[in-house]
Structure 1
């Protein structure tokens, strides 16, 4: 007598999968953690990369896209001792349409044995700062770096034109020199030469190295120590948004029409290539981490499903004896592993979305989420579970009923 072919409906298959998972709820939850981490990391990576890229664009537009740097590369021959930048370099460049500020600066090297101190050499109360940089900068440089003052003021063209010996201290240099306020008109001694401190910088938007520097007017520096030596001069130019590229092409001819090759101009990089590079670098790094988490999750699901097969060999043998085919056993264990993967994908997508919103809120950014990534995340978890369950399900289908029932 031929027995009717056994069948298993999708409803029965789903019920069996849920029952198998609920037999060991704690183990099932821990098994799904790997998939949760993998899918959550994937969602968080794609969202945070897009969110950070939008902020990079904004910051690039505010700072880097409006900044041009010009370096003095003139050959230092006996016939050409001075800098490539003329004395009126600031005003010449600031007359160009689109320029907001421009200034020349360089590092001054004191003679061996001379240091920056808060008192004259040999004074018992003098504090010597061996880490501070001495920077000669035109008044335009201080406008270009957009400083925030802690106290006092910055020098201007009046101090430049009259060769005034005044100084502005960066916050770090002022702290090391013990100058915390401007009461009593404190002075710094550059070797044996006193300079009255008229301002202390709290912060700058550009050139953060100035915060650890003692900054003096360009004219006074040239009068005392001469033009730039081994450390060539550099001009910082700030422009209106969109004008930097044009300004970069005009500056050499405006400053040195006789020798434009004595100046090297560094225009801002292309924001599109910058954004693409950042997205690629961040994306590749974090997607690799997400893939590792998914592999760990798949191994965990495979291991748990294989253990369940060994533990339930008696149940499998009974099902086979009652007429269940190998395909039914395969479907049952694939359904269990797929359910674990789907659950991990759903929870991971939720956690990834929450992470993106939380990070964006803490940074006061606008979160950027890809609907396609969120929609496909549970499917990715499902696929991970299915792949992880293939081998355990195949092992279960190979169990012979008689052998299983004897155990």
Structure 2
């Protein structure tokens, strides 16, 4: 009686052993093949970690700046063309009665006559000597509270105060851009800028502002002084800038129009900050979508590298595959061996890439003095992404290897 034919079996242990032997046969090629996956998974972990870290930073900065800023616009002309300026002269004094306000003040860009220049010499008095700064410099009338609400950082000098506003002093605070343009580098010589023929003593130079950076290119003068020299602001040209305590912005925005104009609160339009949860969600989703696209491109490049190298390995090992088939190996055994090799390369690249991505996030955070934020799900998913990349990349080469006929392979 003929004994039954035993089917050939390949255990998982043997599959892993054969796959490891195939990888170690050419270690240099294996390292270069896994490099694409390392870069892809490393980018995946780094961009998600940096996105989470930046989102945290943006959220914190939003809470400290944007969430404490309220802007009030003059819309009186929309209701009555003869209403005049909507902000009263004692706006700052009235706002001191509103709880939750740290600094507040009215500001607007002064409308100068055509040809009026801002320079270190009066207009027409020293053009040949280069004393004029040109007519492109903006002159902003701002009460002391408005200047403080900009959250300025002084380079030199000081800001003008309530006394300068009350007594209509001819003092000015320069943004760093204007000071550099006029060549004013020190206040020790008590420099003076001329707005047309009007001299203003420079009280301070602002190095930076946290709100409205366009004012770094402006000359700031007291509101009362500007009204005395050039008249009140035009319709809808003035605005009120308010720096509030954290969490009080929306309440302040609802109270300010009534506090300033109880007779016509509709003349003022308060603009509160947006909801921080919506802003953070939008920023996070936008950054994540962009960086995930870049990480996906890196993973595709890694997958193409693994597929190409595995396919070359199949062609090089055609004789070996034919011998294994002749000795009883079935097509699915050959398919499993090559698929395991590509999956192992992908998993190895995923593990190394995960470590490099975490080091990148921590290193950037240390350099920038940030708090690194890496979600545990990202760390867990990254090696799996490498494994999946290797599996997908090895499907076609493994299928080609499984279809090789033993007789044809042994003839080569």
Name the TM-score class by shorter chain. over 0.9
Whole-angstrom distance in 2 between the partners of 1:372 and 1:218: 55
Q: Give CA-to-partner distance per residue, 1:103-139, whole Å, 9 cap, x none.
A: 1000012211111010122333423234421100011
Q: Report if aligned partners of 2:75, 2:236 keep a CA contact under 8 Å in 1.
A: no
CA distance in 2, matches of 1:285, 1:152: 44
Query: Partners in 1 of 2:268 and 2:67 — Cα distance?
Result: 20
- Separation in structure 2 between the aligned mates of residue 347 and residue 30 of structure 1, nearest angstrom: 13
Q: Which of 279, 282, 286 is the aligned partner of 2:287?
A: 282
| Distance in 1 between residues matched to 2:349 and 2:368, nearest whole Å | 28
Match of 2:232 among 205, 227, 231: 227
Tell me if structure 1 keeps the 8 A contact 2:342–2:393. yes
Q: Distance in 2 between matches of 1:230 and 1:213?
A: 21
For structure 2, the residue ranges without an aligned partner over 5 or more in a row are: none
Judge conservation of contact 1:107–1:231 (CA < 8 Å) in 2. no
Q: Is the 8 A contact 1:127 1:178 kept in 2?
A: no
Q: 1:178 aligns with which of 174, 177, 183?
A: 183
Moved more, 316-325 or 116-125: 116-125
Aligned-residue offset at 1:207: 2.2
**Structure 2 residue 132 is the aligned partner of structure 1 residue 141:** no
Mapping 1:2-401, distance limit 5 Å: 3-75=5-77, 79-81=82-84, 83-124=85-126, 125=129, 126-229=131-234, 232-401=237-406
Structure 1 CA distance for aligned equivalents of residues 236 and 206 of structure 2: 24
CA distance 1:286–1:90, change in 2 (3 Å): same
CA distance in 2, matches of 1:372, 1:114: 62
Residue 41 (structure 1) shift: 1.7
In the alignment, structure 1 segments of 5+ residues that lack a partner are none
CA distance in 2, matches of 1:22, 1:121: 81
With the length of structure 2 as denominator, give the TM-score of the two structures: 0.95
Alpha-carbon deviation of 1:231? 6.4
User: SS at the partner of 2:76?
Assistant: coil
Structure 1 runs, 4 residues or longer, greater than 6 Å off: none
Question: How much does 1:366 deviate?
Answer: 1.2
Q: Which moved more, 1:89-98 or 1:334-343?
A: 89-98
Which region of structure 1 is more displaced relative to structure 2, 305-314 or 145-154? 145-154
CA deviation map 1:287-311 (0-9, x unaligned): 1111122122112211111111111
How far is the alpha carbon of 1:54 from its aligned partner?
1.4
Aligned-partner Cα distance in 2 for 1:282–1:183? 47
SS of the aligned residue for 2:237 comes to coil
| Secondary structure at the counterpart of residue 128 of structure 1 | coil
What SS does structure 1 have at the residue aligned with 2:77? coil
- Distance apart, 1:262 and its partner CA: 1.4
CA–CA separation in structure 2 for the residues paired with 1:122 and 1:75: 37
Residue 230 of structure 1 deviates from its aligned partner by 6.3
1:45-65 residue CA offsets vs partner (Å, 9 max, x unmatched) = 221121111112211111111
